[in-house]
Chains A and B, each alone.
Chain A
């Protein structure tokens, strides 16, 4: 503020003396020169205290410096695209079709080879297309859960942290929900409702949002009474504007981290629910289903490929999200911007 003021002061003085000089010696500057537009000059501009720092650009720049994370992100995007393209490629089997040979016998447990890229499972379905369909389902579950949790969690969390009256009630609600083990809610909900993708997402969000809200609330409590927020309040900024403009940008880094970690956790939860027998029906392939099918064959080494391939994809996806999330949250932290 001070800097800008003094700068304007000197600039005005300069201008005045210039004008005086011009009036004394009119031939020095023509009319056109006087009223031409100034050109953008980075150095000049910085003197006014203005900086062309953009938060998102710096974040992206910082993220791009992390080569490993960028490579993983590229691979993950390719993988995601491929799960959508794969069904339209030539020569693909339907993931639920049981494939018979000429004599009407099913192709059971065919090892990976020319005809079936990754082999077939115990009832003669093509593992390759099942894996991609499963990856699609699992990624969809993971992303939806993360998105829904973030939406609900952030909204509730900001209100919880910022509005003092809400704090007491929400803290009590948290104490109760937090003490009910997640497993119980997951199991009960997926049992009471019919197993489907929507049910699973619902059950996972039911327990997850409160953790996100709690986390956001704690962060908000730390910054809610910082000077710049007090100033905003004194100047009469509406509460919703303070929340969106002052508080939330501060939390981008930590929220992104939470979201990125929710995705692998949700995918893992899907595997867990399927494992205890309450997951998706087998005609909706998911990574959990595939791993569960593969697990049944664990005793015969020749059929182990049915377990190995889904777990490789699963591990790749979860590790990528974990690493990308960490890298992005580091990049989103203004302390790491140059």
Chain B
């Protein structure tokens, strides 16, 4: 187990390095006009000097080595344009808490609504509740999020009598963003839990439990649910870590000063250090989420052992 973990973490680090290198190279492909706000008026010498100051004239491998060297010292670089000369880590630490708060709230809502919904749909399979739930899931999954977010904002703000834009200090303003963010995950948890529970309910141990005379609901919640939830538990750490990233749509719709729109903004502003910092954060979240998800599965289900899965991952 420990050996496996060591290997796995080593590989994750390697993956992180490769991802950062790829993004680093992609960033160097961006048109250089974007680095200077008044490109047309500048002489070639000025451009050359500007590029040199940013270290863009060195050969690509040199730039990459320098970047990773700084990274090893914990230095993510400084923002160039977005907030000039402020260290990237400082910019991020201002933004991350708001996104996390929003994300965790929405995660709680989606688990609290999605899980009971899926369980009840499986319990009353093919009855009215199940059908209504299926309609909900189809709509949420098929319609692009942008559309229903807009309508929630449009009619929700009228209903709650709040302004279109976000106010951190007024709890009323948190309701709509949290609901919008939860909808997709509610559908996700509901759909998969229902499917896993239906699959599980055809197994022999369920028949035995029923033969013993346990009530339908008792079997559902004491036996089936616990087994059906294991595969879903894998996504919970990822979902939790993803709260750091925030939601581009929702944060820009309500003008929430979180992480959401940051990546797009800094890419447009050619703020390379910021982009690299954010990509690093995204990639860490992804890799760590997978790892924690697998570990959680092992904890929940003693039948699963990580060592054996090695070749498969």
Contact = CB atoms under 8 A, between A and B. Distances in A.
On whether the two chains bind one another, the answer is yes
Nearest to B283: A179
B248 to A, nearest CB: 6
Contacts of B145: 268, 272
B154 interface: yes
B296 interface: no
B146 to A, nearest CB: 5
Contacts of B84: none
Interface stretch (B93-101, B113-121, B175-183, B260-268): B260-268
Contacts of A277: 264, 268
B144 A307 contact: no
Interface string A142-186: 000000000000000000000000000001000110111101100
Nearest to B242: A181
A306 to B, nearest CB: 12
A122 interface: no
B211 interface: no
B264 A180 contact: no
B147 A188 contact: no
Interface string B130-158: 00000000110111111100110110000
**Interface size class of chain B, counting residues whose CB lies under 8 Å from the partner chain:** 35 or more
A295 B267 contact: no
Given A179-B15, A179-B283, A272-B249, A291 B147 contact: yes
Given A176-B19, A187-B263, A277-B268, A321 B142 contact: yes
A322 B18 contact: no
Nearest to A287: B144
A268 B144 contact: yes
Contacts of B261: 276
A179 B287 contact: yes
B286 A184 contact: no
A213 interface: no
B144 A271 contact: yes
A176 B15 contact: yes
B254 interface: no
Contact of B263 (A180, A184, A322): A184
Interface of B: 11, 15-16, 18-19, 22-23, 26-27, 29-31, 138-139, 141-147, 150-151, 153-154, 164, 245, 248-249, 252, 261, 263-264, 267-268, 279, 282-283, 286-287, 290, 313
7 pairs of A and B residues whose beta carbons are closest in the complex: A268-B144, A322-B142, A319-B142, A318-B142, A276-B264, A179-B286, A311-B147
